[in-house]
Amino acid sequence: MNFNKSKGIVSIKDLSREDILSIIKDCEKVKEEKKFFPDNKNNVGSNKKVASLFFENSTRTRVSSETAAQNLGFYINGFAGAEGTSVKKGEPLIDTVRMFEAYDYKAIIMRHELAGAARLAADHLNIPVINGGDGSSGHPTQTLLDLFTIYEEKHTLDKLKIALVGDLKYGRTVHSLIDALSLFDVEVYLISPPGLDMPQWRITDYCNMSGKKPIIASNLKEIVALVDVLYVTRIQRERFPLGIEGEAEFKKILGLFYINKDFLERYAKKDLIILHPLPRDKNNMEISIDVDNTPYAKYFIQAQNGLHLRESLLSSIIHSENLIINHNHNHNHNKRLPGSLNLPIIDGQKKGDKFLYRLDEGTLIDHIEVNLGQKLYKMLSLDKITDAEVVLCTNIRSKQYGRKDVVAIHKLILTPEQLYKIALISPKHTINIIKNQKVIKKERAILPSPLYDLLICNNPLCISRAEHKEFARSIFYIESDDPLQVRCHYCEEFFTRNEISIAF
Amino acid sequence: MNFNKSKGIVSIKDLSREDILSIIKDCEKVKEEKKFFPDNKNNVGSNKKVASLFFENSTRTRVSSETAAQNLGFYINGFAGAEGTSVKKGEPLIDTVRMFEAYDYKAIIMRHELAGAARLAADHLNIPVINGGDGSSGHPTQTLLDLFTIYEEKHTLDKLKIALVGDLKYGRTVHSLIDALSLFDVEVYLISPPGLDMPQWRITDYCNMSGKKPIIASNLKEIVALVDVLYVTRIQRERFPLGIEGEAEFKKILGLFYINKDFLERYAKKDLIILHPLPRDKNNMEISIDVDNTPYAKYFIQAQNGLHLRESLLSSIIHSENLIINHNHNHNHNKRLPGSLNLPIIDGQKKGDKFLYRLDEGTLIDHIEVNLGQKLYKMLSLDKITDAEVVLCTNIRSKQYGRKDVVAIHKLILTPEQLYKIALISPKHTINIIKNQKVIKKERAILPSPLYDLLICNNPLCISRAEHKEFARSIFYIESDDPLQVRCHYCEEFFTRNEISIAF
Amino acid sequence: MNFNKSKGIVSIKDLSREDILSIIKDCEKVKEEKKFFPDNKNNVGSNKKVASLFFENSTRTRVSSETAAQNLGFYINGFAGAEGTSVKKGEPLIDTVRMFEAYDYKAIIMRHELAGAARLAADHLNIPVINGGDGSSGHPTQTLLDLFTIYEEKHTLDKLKIALVGDLKYGRTVHSLIDALSLFDVEVYLISPPGLDMPQWRITDYCNMSGKKPIIASNLKEIVALVDVLYVTRIQRERFPLGIEGEAEFKKILGLFYINKDFLERYAKKDLIILHPLPRDKNNMEISIDVDNTPYAKYFIQAQNGLHLRESLLSSIIHSENLIINHNHNHNHNKRLPGSLNLPIIDGQKKGDKFLYRLDEGTLIDHIEVNLGQKLYKMLSLDKITDAEVVLCTNIRSKQYGRKDVVAIHKLILTPEQLYKIALISPKHTINIIKNQKVIKKERAILPSPLYDLLICNNPLCISRAEHKEFARSIFYIESDDPLQVRCHYCEEFFTRNEISIAF
């Protein structure tokens, strides 16, 4: 198994297909045992402590996690909701979680309203963190119990048709689920009301990882006739405008996604199973109560599996012999050192005499995309250089690119940070190091991965954003250089060149 | 003992006199043991779990229940207040409680703001439910500890004079208490401010059950001189109008019910004991703090008995060998099948020729009370019949009744639901089945008990009301046919013919 | 050891220097043991119960107290925040805490917003109370862990320079700390923003107890170069005016107290240690996060010591053999009986003929300070006497005092309460008892200590104030007769003659 259990479970992206299958096998054993010895106390936890930190509302995740811990003999403390805690006094997340580590808690189970909160906590701790939901980013243990339930019913996670239905924009459970499904040989269908679609980057992410496209569907009747698993999520009233028009629109949408016994008996595939992370909202039931006793309904079993899954997970995480805790997740994130690509010096020398000036010694940044020269000039803070000549040439004719920008700097050796900024802004650049009017080196700057402190995450709910004041250092992974694709360490969203902001 | 302990304690109405005395005896033993072995851990609960679900505020009931469970070795989880739980997201009560059953909790202790909530939960669960208060409907474990305290002090529950003082309208503790007192040979006195009287139906209920009338009193001085037990409840400011006039009225009322040491020493019977379910409100003390150290004051002992009683109860409920859980309460509710009463065919035949038309074949509903024919016509949806003649005759002369209404329907055989509606609307009706112009059968429809899905409970805070969206199927017990008296399965309030609404 | 552990820890004033050192030694042992046997369960608590009653927000104090209790094998119940409890229904504090005692809880850990709350609770209980903060009055276990941390780092509590920085007005931790420091041979520096200074009475109290003056400082640079310990507290935004001007002022102040790594490396004494009770406020960090990993920062170790200290304390409190619980604190409060000082009858007789009237028999109160005669007259309710002559003489020439007031009352013997009032109002009075026109006794009334029901505490947040309705009987200790100094039993603030109000 690749997965380092002693880290905890921060994101589904940290797990491989093998990890997931192994977790499912473990859970199967635990559930089987419980059947025969329901009150058998597993004494893993004797006098050990687990912190249960729910900065956001929860019943099912909190109670099943705490019950799992208790079944294992752990003592639990923490809070359910941030009311009545020092979080209300503005305590930084990392101070709060470090306190529990200092009090010798052996693991932290947490839910938080910001994306990447569990990752930030894990980065600062030497004890495992189990993510019980971070904003609408993810909910990995929910996904594991979802997969366990599917496996239990279908005896496989491959060759299945699985539809995700409802609010696919904000629903964290479907976000982690689609991530996990990319590891299996399944067909994914997505059905959501307008405005509540699966975020585009998640779809791209799924395509990249699975090599397949999810099918965007709209007709629930056709879908239930087709799929093996229907995963339904709650559509929340607050996602729609206020007032009676918003109410009407909401009710109309809700009607399109309403599932009852009659509907299923008429249209559904015989062995269709329906999952739902629960709770349902009694004011707006997407699944009628008359479905509960049909063979389609597996959501109560699914909820119950939450206990088994969390018990199994917690037991193996805390039992884990692998005590080297290293919270840096490396799934899909090949670390690489910063550096540069050496380019051949084609014409042996480059005097710069083709330009409007001569550069005897210094750095000449060539092949900058047209119109980006000015941006680069600013980014590199060249306007603040007072003791050297700097020349910015824009819209120059180029054999290779038609037009280009060029920046020449007298006697300057670029710092690593400046090199990274060039790489971020202009991927096709060439850096010429000139000495005695000759190009002695020709290279292209390459971004290190991870890239620290240089980018600002575009996701307003990412915990790394300055306005949240959570002291989460900016960390991005370079997933592709050209076209540039970077992924935030915390919220795991990925961005292209046009979507990133550079901190300067 | 009649009482099935494994059901839990949902309503005091489920218990007989013998049940209550047996519970008191059990509690006596537990309290005695504690005296000698205060820290003796009863290991009933080893690794078992009890859910403590307080949808509404509580300190005493919650803490004493949880402490009792802990003393028995149970693990407790749940919530104190619905904040921070999925109840806030609109989760139906039955989904919430089923989750705890799925997580293998062995019992549920709950408080909820709607009447009948504990009953609804119990109906959907195979584990015992202990009702810690459902709206202003009832609070059975409080009543048991009240009775235990009285028994402990007076060594009997018979031949006592007991006064209930204060808010008798909304106070759930006095509601359960008067129910229980109907099983004992006591004289009950009721003293309350205007507008906060004991609901009339509860008084009628008490009369029916005990065969005695409670004495409505108004002068506290006279009462304390007379009674053995004074049961005082809190009068809440919010029951009175806002503003300074309301405040003045409230203060005036409060003055009338104010009890201090001086008052008691002047007027009270020597061995009077004072009970109070607590808390007192420091802003409006109905019992002065100087009473606390008098021999009259038993409310702190009463509070302490809450722990003993709940420990004893929880132990016997979970120990119970009687594992057949059947939550249908049957105290006072003799179930009976639906059916009809055969009436003699007096004149051998009934041709209908006395009427304005002839009925050759079909059903003739005779002896409908005057003016109810029209209502019945609508209720039976006869206006929607298009393929048969229907004749409604109103205000017809009758030998028996002076005037009557009659409905004749060609070729129709009534459905059971239609028969129930006739029985509900017109108790003195006669149904004639006519074939070949002859009455071949003459009968009177009888309501089944329980009666499902036909009536709407008149209590706006009953959990079965549609506006609460809690999926509680309408269930009523027929307590009397003529005059009709029906009792709601959930809130246990009973209604007469004029008070019921029919769902159609 | 003087300190009666079985009382609990209500105020730092209850402890002597020896008590504190002994507690530190105990904690050292506990911490050492934990290092080697981290999960060793101390079975003090087997099946015993500890109540954790946090009427006010807390994370660190609550969690470390509960974790300590759990490590000792206790069961914990109570509440975190008064929401969802009967406190919200106006239950008096003493009713709430007595309930937990009745449920056989072995100790109460509590935090409350009013000064003296823990004292009031302790007065009514036979189980130990551990004060986790009462308003801005004190936080004794925090102070013990602060002192433990200093001792651990500096190996002594004497010969140190210690600066208290930040909000010294409302910060309860610095209030208890300065109290404790008065017992050690240290130099105390105080630095606070304008308006947030240490209350004057606390400074006087410190001076009286230690015989030294704290040094009021303003330049943080100079202080960090000088002191061994910097104790920083949070400056809260809400202490400043609303609006943008208030915001600007707040930010300016905050800047003056801002500590970062660079500042420390430039200015701080090499072995300076920084303590902070935490939490920090992420919106307004007084200590930059970059200090966290410097050797100066001891605040996380300090937080962790909270667990060890509370575990050690709880263990010894509940283990204590000294089972006679007597919550009357006697540190600095020499109890004395009420009485009077006999004065010599200098001229053998006093006929009263020097005045404007003759007193044949009765009481003559002489040597009342000018202008206080009228006040005394009212206080003694002499205007309500109808059956005896009362003469009030003001501004009379006196050999001893220049001018004086005199009150003569025919045939009256003063009650003890009247004598106390005379002593409170006019310390230099002489009481002449006259019989047959002769002075047969000459005395001066002396106040008893404690003094019950006579004074009103001047601290608006003291729990004894009538407006809080907490039934805390007025109790004051006489610390000095002339000039008069009295100390409130609850909030421990002391007052002079001009600051007291008399209840009449």
CB contact under 8 A, B84 and A57: yes
pLDDT by residue, tens only, chain B of 504 residues:
456 777 899 999 999 999 999 999 999 999 998 876 666 555 666 678 999 999 988 889 999 999 999 999 899 999 988 877 778 888 999 999 999 999 999 999 999 999 999 999 999 999 999 999 999 899 999 999 999 999 999 999 999 999 999 999 999 999 999 999 999 999 999 999 988 999 999 999 999 999 999 999 999 999 999 999 999 999 988 788 888 888 888 888 888 899 999 999 999 999 999 999 999 999 889 999 999 999 999 999 999 999 999 999 999 888 764 434 444 444 445 566 666 777 877 654 454 445 545 788 889 898 898 888 888 888 888 888 877 788 888 888 877 778 888 888 887 788 888 899 999 998 889 998 888 888 888 999 999 999 999 999 999 999 999 999 999 999 999 998 888 999 999 999 999 988 988 886
Supply the angle between the helices C299-319 and C140-154 in degrees, to the nearest 10. Answer: 120
Q: Which of B5, B62, B106, B111 is catalytic?
A: B111
Q: Name B72's Cβ contacts closer than 8 Å, sequence gap at least 6.
A: B41, B42, B43, B44, B45, B311, B314, B315, B318
C-beta separation of A326 from A9 below 8 A: no
**Interchain CB contact of C466 with B (< 8 Å):** no
Q: How many contacts does A have with B, using Cβ atoms within 8 A?
A: 88
- Per DSSP, the three-state class of A331 is coil
Q: Which CATH number fits the domain C5-139+308-319, given the four candidates 3.40.50.1370, 3.40.980.10, 3.30.70.1050, 1.20.120.1200?
A: 3.40.50.1370
Task: Read off the pLDDT of residues B133-174 as tens digits, 9 standing for 90 and up.
Answer: 999 899 999 999 999 999 999 999 999 999 999 999 999 999
- Best residue in A89, A93, A97, A114 for a mutation probing chain C (most C CBs within 10 Å): A89
Q: Which amino acid is at C467?
A: E
Closest CA to B285 of B245, B255, B240: B255
Closest CA to A442 of A327, A355, A346, A361: A346
Above 80 in pLDDT, residue C139? yes
CB contact under 8 A, A99 and C59: yes
CATH number of A451-502: 2.30.30.20
DSSP-H helix ranges across B3-128: 17-36, 60-71, 93-102, 117-123
Query: Which residues of chain C are within 8 Å of residue B282 when distances are taken between CB atoms?
Result: 90-92, 469-471
- Per DSSP, the three-state class of B289 is helix
Which class in CATH covers the domain with range B141-304? alpha beta
* Number of Cβ atoms within 10 Å of the Cβ of B388: 11
C-beta separation of A99 from C303 below 8 A: yes
Which class in CATH covers the domain with range A5-139? alpha beta
Which class in CATH covers the domain with range B5-136? alpha beta
Q: What angle do CA A206, A212, A216 make, to 5 degrees?
A: 75
C-beta separation of B369 from B406 below 8 A: no
What sign has the CA pseudo-torsion A271, A277, A280, A285?
negative
**Interchain CB contact of C311 with A (< 8 Å):** no
**Exposure b/e, C254-264, CB count within 10 A at least 16 = b:** beebebebeeb
Q: Which helix (H) or strand (E) holds C479?
A: strand C475-481
Predicted local confidence at residue A322, as pLDDT = 42
**CB half-sphere exposure, A233, CA atoms < 13 A:** 26
Query: Which residues of chain C are within 8 Å of residue B39 when distances are taken between CB atoms?
Result: 46-48
Q: Which of C89, C270, C282, C399 is catalytic?
A: C89
Q: Name A37's Cβ contacts closer than 8 Å, sequence gap at least 6.
A: none
CA distance B454 to B424: 10
**Interchain CB contact of A471 with C (< 8 Å):** yes
SS3 of C405-441: EEEEEECCCCCHHHHHHHHHHCCCCEEEEEECCEEEE
- A89 flagged as catalytic: yes
**Interchain CB contact of B448 with C (< 8 Å):** no
CATH 3.40.140.80, domain B339-444, yes or no:
no
- C489 flagged as catalytic: no
Chains that touch A (3 or more CB pairs under 8 A): B, C
Query: Which residues of chain A are within 8 Å of residue C64 when distances are taken between CB atoms?
Result: 103
**How far does the CA of residue C247 sit from the closest CA of chain B (Å)?**
32
Q: Which of A5, A13, A31, A61 is catalytic?
A: A61
- Residue in chain B closest to C93 (alpha carbons) equals B282
C-beta separation of C136 from C198 below 8 A: no
**Interchain CB contact of B280 with C (< 8 Å):** yes
Query: Which residues of chain C are within 8 Å of residue B65 when distances are taken between CB atoms?
Result: none
Structure tokens at C148: 């433990």
CATH 3.30.70.140, domain C339-445, yes or no:
yes
CB contact under 8 A, B279 and C95: yes
* Dihedral class, residue C348 (left if φ above 0, else alpha if ψ from -120 to 50, else beta): left
Query: Which residues of chain C are within 8 Å of residue B300 when distances are taken between CB atoms?
Result: 98-99, 102
Q: Which of B7, B112, B139, B444 is catalytic?
A: B139
Which residues 20-39 in chain A show a CB within 8 A of chain B?
A: 34, 38-39
- Best residue in B44, B47, B101 for a mutation probing chain A (most A CBs within 10 Å): B47
- Best residue in A44, A63, A234 for a mutation probing chain B (most B CBs within 10 Å): A63
Closest CA to B331 of B179, B168, B500: B179
**Interchain CB contact of B91 with A (< 8 Å):** yes
**How far does the CA of residue B86 sit from the closest CA of chain A (Å)?**
5
**Interchain CB contact of C47 with B (< 8 Å):** yes
**CB half-sphere exposure, C348, CA atoms < 13 A:** 0
Q: Name C460's Cβ contacts closer than 8 Å, sequence gap at least 6.
A: none
Q: Which amino acid is at A111?
A: R
Confidence of residue A331 (pLDDT cuts 50, 70, 90): very low
Q: Which of A5, A111, A202, A404 is catalytic?
A: A111
Q: Which amino acid is at A227?
A: V
Predicted local confidence at residue B354, as pLDDT = 53
Structure tokens at C413: 């013997």
Structure tokens at A188: 């994914």
Structure tokens at B236: 């809440």
- A60 flagged as catalytic: yes
**Interchain CB contact of C347 with A (< 8 Å):** no
**CB half-sphere exposure, C292, CA atoms < 13 A:** 13
* Number of Cβ atoms within 10 Å of the Cβ of B65: 27
CB contact under 8 A, B282 and C469: yes
Portion of chain C with pLDDT greater than 70, in percent: 90
**Interchain CB contact of C57 with B (< 8 Å):** no
What end-to-end distance do the CA atoms of chain C give, in Å?
41
Predicted local confidence at residue C242, as pLDDT = 86
CB contact under 8 A, B70 and C89: no
- Residue in chain B closest to C49 (alpha carbons) equals B67
Where do the domains of chain C lie? 5-139+308-319, 141-304, 339-445, 451-502
Q: Name C345's Cβ contacts closer than 8 Å, sequence gap at least 6.
A: C439, C441, C442
Q: Which of A35, A88, A89, A384 is catalytic?
A: A89
CB contact under 8 A, A79 and C70: no
Confidence of residue A293 (pLDDT cuts 50, 70, 90): very high
C-beta separation of C407 from C431 below 8 A: no
Nearest residue, CB atoms, C57 vs list A75, A77, A84:
A84
Nearest residue, CB atoms, C80 vs list A48, A84, A103:
A84
Portion of chain A with pLDDT greater than 70, in percent: 90
Same fold, B141-304 and B451-502: no
- pTM of the model as a whole: 0.90
- Residue in chain A closest to B472 (alpha carbons) equals A289
SS3 of A345-400: CCCCCCCCCCCCCCCCCEEEEEEECCCCHHHHHHHCCHHHCCCCCEEEEEEEEECC
- B444 flagged as catalytic: no
The fold of the A339-446 domain, in CATH, is Alpha-Beta Plaits (3.30.70)
Chains that touch C (3 or more CB pairs under 8 A): A, B
Torsion angle defined by CA atoms of residues B176, B181, B182 and B187, in that order, rounded to the nearest 10 degrees: -130
- Eight-class DSSP state of B217: -
Predicted local confidence at residue C504, as pLDDT = 66
CA distance B364 to C329: 90
- Best residue in B70, B103, B465 for a mutation probing chain A (most A CBs within 10 Å): B103
Predicted local confidence at residue B168, as pLDDT = 96
- C139 flagged as catalytic: yes
Task: Read off the pLDDT of residues A168-213 as tens digits, 9 standing for 90 and up.
Answer: 999 999 999 999 999 999 999 999 998 899 999 999 999 999 999 9
Confidence of residue A38 (pLDDT cuts 50, 70, 90): low
Predicted local confidence at residue B308, as pLDDT = 96
**Interchain CB contact of C100 with B (< 8 Å):** yes
Q: Name C71's Cβ contacts closer than 8 Å, sequence gap at least 6.
A: A47, C41, C42, C307, C311
